């Protein structure tokens, strides 16, 4: 059976590590959007919260409601856009929504007033990402209009770092956000919880911690900062098994398109997992899996529901476990290694693992 194993102790350890980098007054926002980066929203969200996250962040109202149904009682921020049809659920489930458009806040206030409730919002500010957010010079005017509406409470304001490794650009983004905070003071506005730093920015730019930090990929054991390699623990392992073993003669080809030709007699194992199950097709003829604690090269094109690997010289049989992400024996393959081979980032490798694969949660 193909399966995903999640080590919840690793998630707990990662969250606590980042908590140790923060002042006691700085809140930690645990980002569990995209099915907790492929790890499973409800189970992982609950552990991130109980491990010390003060707030959880998701992308959609659907994700937020899933956490509430799972009895996760932490404050929740929706980072993505919302539609009018979502307003009632935001109010009913006590969810904070990110806003970067006055019109949507105006409509939300009308609904919250009609229900005699208070909507909670977090104001998104554009500082250099050029994605969502009010331009810095527009913030004061829009906040003043929001404050005049009634039945809307500003819980926080935030932005997002475009390139944590670029110190100069990041400093400029920090300055933009600080200028907005200063303009709040000049206008006698209360400054809400401000959050900007994400995983790599947390350690590289302590001056960007403000009132809270947004911890995403670091929860799951990854980050671009080299110092993380010694302390973070990847939590997810992706496993399959050998469904068939066969010999291939010299000169025969393997798989669709006949992209691999056997240079000699070789033994291959077939695994019942493919790109439908989140294995990137771009790993064809260059990725590895672990079988019997040894690396087996992927040969031929990865199929929709299967793949072939070279097990020549490896003692193995039908039913033996194959590790695509994780540790086996004295070797390991993590998502960042796969990402480098395929020209992407660990985030994508993890998020592409589909929900139909069963998750097993363990405290190892």
Examine the pLDDT at 114 and tell me if it is beyond 80: yes
pLDDT at 229: 79
pLDDT at 133: 93
Cβ contact 179:136 at 8 Å:
yes
Examine the pLDDT at 165 and tell me if it is beyond 90: no
Mean pLDDT within 338-359 = 97
Q: Rounded CA gap, 36 and 296, in Å?
A: 29
Q: Rounded CA gap, 82 and 341, in Å?
A: 36
> Two tokens at 334?
């993590």
255-287 pLDDT per residue, tens: 999 999 999 999 999 999 999 999 999 999 999
The active-site residue, picked from 33, 120, 124, 239, is 33
pLDDT at 248: 97
Domains present along the chain, CATH in parentheses: 8-220 (3.20.20.10), 236-362 (2.40.37.10)
The pairing of beta strand 119-126 with beta strand 152-158: parallel
HEC string of 114-162 equals HCCCCEEEEEEEECCCCCCCEEHHHHHHHHHHHHCCCCEEEEEEECCCC
Q: Would you call 33 a catalytic residue per the annotation?
A: yes
The mean predicted confidence, pLDDT, of the chain is 96
Percent of the residues in the chain that have a pLDDT greater than 90, as a whole number: 95
Q: Rounded CA gap, 79 and 123, in Å?
A: 10
Q: Rounded CA gap, 36 and 328, in Å?
A: 24
58-103 pLDDT per residue, tens: 999 999 999 999 999 999 999 999 999 999 999 999 999 999 999 9
The active-site residue, picked from 256, 286, 340, 364, is 256
Q: Which of 104, 146, 96, 101 is nearest to 121 (CA)?
A: 96
């Amino acid at each position: 059976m193909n399966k995903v194993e999640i080590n919840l102790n690793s998630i707990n350890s990662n969250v606590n590590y980042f908590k140790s980098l923060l002042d006691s007054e700085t809140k930690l926002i645990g980002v569990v959007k995209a099915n907790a980066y492929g790890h499973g929203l409800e189970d992982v969200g609950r552990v991130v919260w109980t491990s010390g996250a003060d707030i959880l962040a998701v992308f959609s109202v659907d994700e937020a409601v899933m956490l509430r149904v799972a009895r996760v009682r932490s404050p929740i921020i929706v980072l993505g856009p919302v539609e009018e049809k979502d307003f009632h659920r935001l109010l009913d489930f006590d969810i904070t929504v990110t806003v970067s458009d006055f019109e949507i806040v105006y409509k939300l206030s009308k609904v919250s007033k009609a229900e005699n409730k208070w909507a909670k919002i977090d104001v998104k500010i554009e500082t250099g990402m050029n994605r969502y957010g009010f331009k810095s010079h527009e913030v004061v005017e829009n906040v003043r209009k929001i404050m005049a509406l009634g039945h809307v409470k500003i819980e926080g304001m935030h932005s997002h770092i475009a390139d944590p490794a670029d110190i100069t650009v990041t400093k400029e983004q920090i300055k933009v956000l600080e200028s907005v905070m200063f303009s709040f003071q000049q206008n006698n506005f209360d400054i809400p919880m401000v959050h900007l730093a994400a995983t790599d920015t947390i350690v590289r730019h302590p001056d960007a911690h403000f009132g809270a930090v947004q911890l995403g990929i670091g929860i799951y054991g990854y980050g671009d900062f080299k110092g993380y390699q010694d302390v973070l623990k990847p939590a997810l392992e992706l496993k399959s098994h050998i469904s068939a073993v066969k010999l291939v003669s010299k000169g025969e080809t393997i798989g669709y398109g006949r992209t691999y030709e056997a240079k000699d007699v070789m033994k291959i194992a077939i695994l019942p997992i493919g790109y439908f199950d989140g294995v990137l097709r771009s790993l064809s003829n260059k990725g590895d899996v672990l079988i019997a604690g040894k690396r087996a090269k992927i040969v031929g094109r990865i199929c929709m529901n299967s793949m072939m690997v070279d097990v020549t010289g490896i003692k193995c049989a039908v039913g033996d476990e194959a590790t695509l992400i994780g540790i086996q024996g004295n070797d390991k393959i993590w998502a960042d290694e796969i990402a480098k081979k395929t020209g992407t980032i660990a985030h994508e490798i993890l998020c592409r693992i589909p929900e139909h694969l069963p998750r097993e949660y363990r405290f190892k």
